[in-house]
Amino acid sequence: RHSRSTAPPSSVRVATMATSTSALALLAGISSHRVGISRPKRAAPRARRIPRIIAEASSSSQARDAFVLRASLASSPTPLASLIDDPDASKAFDVVVWGATGFTGALVARHLAKNAPDSLRIAVGGRSDAKLCSLVGSMVESGDSDVLLPMLRGDAADATDMRALARVAKCVVSAAGPYGERGDVLVGACAAEGTHYADLTGEPGWMRFVIDSHDATARATGARIVPCAGFDSVPADVGAFIAATELAERHPGVKAVKVTSYLTKVLGGFSGGTLATGWRLAEDARERESFCDVDGLVPNAVEGVTNAAQTPLAFAELEPRYDEDLDAWATMSPFAPCDVKVVRRTVSLLEGAEGAEGAEGAEGAE
């Protein structure tokens, strides 16, 4: 159970609005061709597809097509460090799924390959050659992909690898957590290279660090940094937005002050990455200190002044109690400490956009 309310106007490039497959395609903003080898069992399409791609790549204006084709045909993942100064690799991919061999990363990669437009150039990346090859091969065998996606291998802690990743991609979707341990280098590289970025973090203390460290750079390069684009915190963020919008439409002039959301049915369980993040949150002093600070992500928030009516989160709320509105026993969601901060940041960014003049104000609220 979470409570949220409004916050003062502000406009900051680093944002926390929900992201979907279609939104990622819009972030990439390109009309080009995804290339690769057709599934082996479709012999005829394969014979037609490769000559067509080679013909397209023969033009000097299609150097990137040739690079993507070579990456697709490679028998092993391409080392990211080898691409750092390759002009043909610059922004060659619309979306790179980083950490694609993990549980969530594989789901993202399969969904994109199966549902994204054919015009979207997709690549997968990670640190294990064997796992990347296994993933790409299984995607073709299962029918999730008609092509062998290009594979990129690198180390999340290596600055050169992450800078190269940011250079070859227009948008990076990172599923490699915990982000507080292995996400700083990639976010910094994306901000510096003007590469859009989305992840699945639920670590508000780390997000505060990212905003403080990379917001100015992201503003300068035009990068859109979108953390919390997964279960943390899409349901809460979009749900609060829809509830507030519906209230305003039904009752003109009335503004939402608080939104309470309930999780009444949740399917599935926790992945290994989510469990690892949970342990890190418990051990990280930065995350523990930010637990009760509902305005921890709100720009220029002043404790007790920004919203004096907002009740801080408290560990006591974890105790089950009977909720009359729900007519059932309920407790605070384990996602609440992150969700409430994300929703309040989104409110502040949207209000800032409404009060800003020009395109920059609108772009500041993702």
Sign of CA dihedral 100, 104, 108, 113: positive
Kindly state the tokens that stand for 275. Answer: 């469990």
Q: How far is CA 293 from the centre of its chain?
A: 23
Q: What are phi and psi of 156, to 5 degrees?
A: -65, -20
String of DSSP letters for 163-192: HHHHHHEEEEEE----HHHH-HHHHHHHHH
Q: Where are the strands (E) in 239-333, listed by range?
A: 259-261, 321-323, 328-330
Where the chain has pLDDT below 50, the residues are: 1-58, 60-61, 309, 356-366
* Three-class SS state of 341: helix
Q: How far is CA 74 from the centre of its chain?
A: 28
Model pLDDT, residue 294: 84
Model pLDDT, residue 293: 82
**pTM to 2 decimal places:** 0.76
The percentage of residues in the chain with a pLDDT greater than 70, rounded to a whole number, is 68
Q: Where are the strands (E) in the chain, listed by range?
A: 2-4, 78-79, 93-98, 122-126, 151-153, 169-174, 196-199, 225-226, 259-261, 321-323, 328-330
Is residue 311 within 8 Å of 2, Cβ to Cβ?
no
Kindly state the tokens that stand for 366. Answer: 């993702």
Model pLDDT, residue 154: 98
Burial class of residue 266 in the structure, from the number of CB atoms within 10 Å of its CB (0-12 exposed, 13-18 middle, 19+ buried)? exposed
Q: Which of 59, 61, 60, 64 is nearest to 35 (CA)?
A: 64
Model pLDDT, residue 288: 65
Are β-strands 328-330 and 321-323 bridged in parallel, bridged antiparallel, or unpaired? antiparallel
Model pLDDT, residue 287: 66
Model pLDDT, residue 41: 42
Model pLDDT, residue 79: 97
Contacts for 357 with CB less than 8 Å, ≥ 6 apart: none
In the block, residue with structure tokens 């220029």: 300
Model pLDDT, residue 284: 64
